[in-house]
Amino acid sequence: MSTNPNINNESTKIAKTFSRRDILKTAGIGGVGVLVGASGLGGLLSITESKAKQIDSGESIPLYGKHQQGITTKTQNHVYFAALDVTTTNKQDLIRLFKDWTKAAALMTEGKSVGELTSNEFLPPKDTGEAAGLSPSKLTITFGVGPTLFKKDQRDRFGLQHKQPKELVDLPKFPLDALEEEWTGGDLCIQACADDLQVAFHAVRNLVRIARGKAILRWAQSGFQRTAQADPREGTPRNLFGFKDGTANPDVNDEKQMNEQVWVQPGDGPNWLANGSYLVVRKIQMFIEVWDRTTLKEQENTFGRYRISGAPLGQKNEFDKLDFNHKDEYGKDFIPVNSHTRLSHGDGSQKILRRAYSYSNGMDVKTGSFDAGLLFLCFQRKPSKQFIQIQKRLAKMDKLNEYTSHRGSAIFACLPGCKQGGFIGETLFS
């Protein structure tokens, strides 16, 4: 036998390589029990707290609370949004998934791994690792359930149909919708927002991984807005048309407004959703090349606001009250009747909490133009009285429709928050 340590080390590596290959071969369809028996099923799937220390407590937003985070939380720089389809037919599997998701999400929002740092070298690590060494970056993870979780193909899937809220139904088809199946619907949703896109992606990636055998990815989209470093004054973000987006949002610090406009209240429907909210998602493609050839005056008339200041036409400041009776020297409305601002405002009685992000998916191979636009996310207490009424007006005569196309759509009930020791979705399954 050789006494050369290098040769001995190399032999050990080769032996380990063969061992891995043998184990993976054995763990095929016929040998799953060998793999599970060697590590224990719990060792493969359980979510355990990492010993890694939180890097920056100021960057962490706790998961637990009365409401889920990521709704009224100050908007972070990035979003990674995913819709999933449930594949299991076992209700207990679904409950276990939400319990595991809650544990994993609580760890990741603290900047921790979803599994122990040391693991069996013959198995994949429990955490995918791309966020190792990174701060939590103000990560929030928000979970929701779609209408098809309750009923699909006329079938009560998990004995939950009697708990389906009347508000949680597929959105109506609006005029000019060009929805594509690949960007529409979903049984479940995960919204991960963070000041670092890698942190947000890591969260969704690991949650989808935990869901294996119970749910699969249906569609996903990342999004961005201007960062705090780029805009220290933290002004209203601009969309890809160059206009400020979200000026008319209600005040998230006003509890009365939030209870009236955003949070589902006891008595609104099944009480399991009280303190939750409804999320509407629309993937809106923007034809930015066409927009870039449009005159500034036409752009401002389309939005009903000045591009630079964000002020309503005819006024000076971004947050000036809208005045639809204000006319120019020729007697014409400053804010055109078909402008986006005028139509979205209506009589002012319908408000939604916008949390939109821009997206860019490279090039649209069909047209040779940018595949870019707006991942529109909005939260509300009653979609039938809020988003749907607003979108009906916009779909009919919004001048912005000339430059956009709605390609994706979904609605979800975002579950109420939970206390430590409980889990997101506990009220639904209790």
Looking at the structure, do residues 33 and 57 belong to the same domain, yes or no? no
Residue 374's alpha-carbon distances to 56, 225, 247, 283, 300, in angstroms, are 31, 10, 16, 6, 18
Report d(CA 260, CA 263) in Å as an integer: 7
Residues 24 and 66 in one domain: no
Q: Do residues 32 and 140 both lie within one domain?
A: no
Q: Which residues, other chains included, contact 309 with Cβ-Cβ below 8 Å and sequence gap of 6+?
A: 316, 317, 318
Alpha-helical runs (H) found in 27-90:
32-39, 41-45
How would you classify residue 31: left for phi > 0, otherwise alpha for psi between -120 and 50, otherwise beta?
A: alpha
pLDDT in the model for residue 118: 61
Instruction: Give the tokens for residue 369.
Output: 């133009």
Question: Same domain, yes or no, for 29 and 166?
Answer: no
Number of domains in the chain: 2
Same domain, 22 and 136: no
Strands (E) across 121-276 are located at: 140-145, 151-152, 155-156, 188-194, 215-224
| 21 and 129 co-located in one domain | no
Kindly state whether residues 33 and 124 are assigned to the same domain: no
The verdict on 24 and 132 lying in the same domain is no
Same domain (yes/no): 300, 417: yes
The pLDDT of residue 46 is 40
**Co-location of 33 and 126 in the same domain:** no
Residues 57 and 17 both lie in one domain: no
174 vs 416: CA distance, rounded Å: 29
Q: What residues contact residue 143 under an 8 Å CB cut-off, 6+ apart?
A: 68, 98, 101, 105, 188, 189, 190, 191, 414, 415, 424, 425
> Phi and psi of 3, rounded to 5°?
-100, 0
Q: Which domain holds residue 65?
A: 48-430
Same domain as 108, residue 26: no
Tens-level pLDDT at each residue, the chain (430 residues): 444 444 344 444 434 333 433 333 333 333 333 333 333 333 333 443 333 344 444 689 999 999 999 999 999 999 999 999 999 999 999 999 999 999 999 999 999 999 776 667 888 889 999 999 999 999 999 999 999 999 999 999 999 999 999 999 999 999 999 999 999 999 999 999 999 999 999 999 999 999 999 999 999 999 999 888 898 888 899 999 999 998 889 999 999 999 999 999 999 999 999 999 999 999 999 999 999 999 999 999 999 999 999 999 999 999 999 999 988 888 889 999 999 999 999 999 999 999 999 999 999 888 889 999 999 999 999 999 999 999 999 999 999 999 999 999 999 999 999 999 999 999 999 9
Per-residue 3-state assignment (H helix, E strand, C coil) for 237-297: CECCCCCECCCCCCCCCCHHHHHHHCCCCCCCCCHHHCCCEEEEEEEEEECHHHHHCCCHH
